Structure 1
């Protein structure tokens, strides 16, 4: 992962991020330096023949991440933090046995205290080996999910692993330079649901259902029926 001085100029507010989009993430390189990089959202393991499976690897379940071939080699050596203001989930509201099916309502989930979320992720580097050593590297990432906490469970049975500031160093520290890598036992301890009081879910417009829509109004809270 190479440093990019122009990186901050390349990122703009994005209110509707679909899979395979290039997103920002922080990772630690082999010398122990922390760097902000651009990653394709949808992990491509280094052994993949091509990138066609990327969209299926946007999330990794914490319970099986050490077992799945796509993710297990990244856990000890390629962890990252994905910064974001919030994320969307979709909730089914007001459905009974006799009612007709209703579209799911988008919910924007953010921090109660207004600070950005630091979401645990994994990353990998891949290149097309058929092109030889001159082929460019593709850096990609995924979000680690865990079981929903009490705040999220009425909306969805899963949620991203949200890291608090005091845990960032442990998560990012994969060794390198003078750093000693965080033990895997500690990493497993971090992949747990966030305290329910940290997050607040807000109903938002169904405009987010269309990827072409990308503006601040998408995260503006609404009352159901608006």
Structure 2
């Protein structure tokens, strides 16, 4: 699964990397080394303008944790941060978004915890930071949805809640010992097709959800500080081998 990630790339750089045509500089968020469910995140999407015409590639900020349009409350968001690639086309919560509201979440990498048995009782959780082996941005396949808050008139700034979810797949063999699931990321050659709102054939779309080749990702053990969402700094990415035993007391 994917329950935490780091996103620190400047929006200006994301605009260049993803060929973004529309971005409002006032719609931005601070770099975060510890993005958690219901936090805001940058999202890249293609959307047809209200007046019609060709889709425009946009950089937007959305809340992580998808709220289906038919949901009575946004409280379900924390449970819908991930959508399984093998069932995303048929699950009621995701199938409409999968058909026409797909996006990319650009991240530095994501965190995963390995459960390590202990002879003394409670198993220990060892966190890892997983990132692309070549050091480039990890473009996670995502879905987004609009939810109407009926407490406000249509033109109220809080009338619409826009949320997103990350598509997941089976972990590649090298990562499976850490966790059996992983977020699915796309290479640049698949960006246009995945973001195209006119592409709605389920079989063709599922053909884009291809697990990465072995070795595309690297995982490094890090310290336990990332487990607390209040901790948010580059120090979270320090390899465990570089952390002094007493450093854990700093968090």
| Secondary structure of 1:133's aligned partner | coil
In the superposition, the TM-score normalised over structure 2's length comes to 0.81
Match of 2:60 in 1: 37
The answer to whether the aligner puts 1:107 opposite 2:128 as a matched pair is yes
Q: Which of 81, 85, 98 is the equivalent residue of 1:62?
A: 85
Partner of 1:221: 239
The 8 Å contact of residues 65 and 79 in structure 2, kept in 1 or not, is answered as: yes
In the alignment, the residues of structure 2 paired with residue 195 and residue 183 of structure 1 have an alpha-carbon distance, to the nearest angstrom, of 25
Paired residue for 1:128?
A: 149
Root-mean-square deviation (CA, aligned residues, Å) is 1.8
Gaps (5+ residues) in structure 1?
176-180
Q: How many residues align?
A: 216
TM-score by length of 1: 0.89
Distance in 2 of aligned mates of 1:68 and 1:82: 21
Pairwise CA distance, 1:191: 1.8
Distance in 2 between residues matched to 1:86 and 1:34, nearest whole Å: 23
Tell me the CA shift for residue 76 of structure 1.
1.1
Q: Which residue of 1 aligns with 2:11?
A: none
Counterpart position of 1:26 = 44
User: How far off its partner does 1:4 sit?
Assistant: 4.8
Provide structure 2 residue ranges, at least 5 long, that are not aligned to the other structure.
Answer: 1-21, 49-53, 246-251
* Contact 1:170–1:182, Cα closer than 8 Å, also in 2: no
Residue 161 (structure 1) aligns with = 184
CA distance in structure 1 between the aligned counterparts of 2:154 and 2:233, rounded to whole angstroms:
41
Q: Does the CA-based 8 Å contact 1:81-1:119 persist in structure 2? A: yes
> 1:101 deviation in Å?
2.5
Correspondence 1:195 to 2:213: yes
Write the distance in 2 (CA, Å) between the matches of 1:208 and 1:29. 35
1:178 is matched with none
After superposing on structure 2, the runs of 4+ consecutive aligned residues of structure 1 that deviate more than 4 Å are none
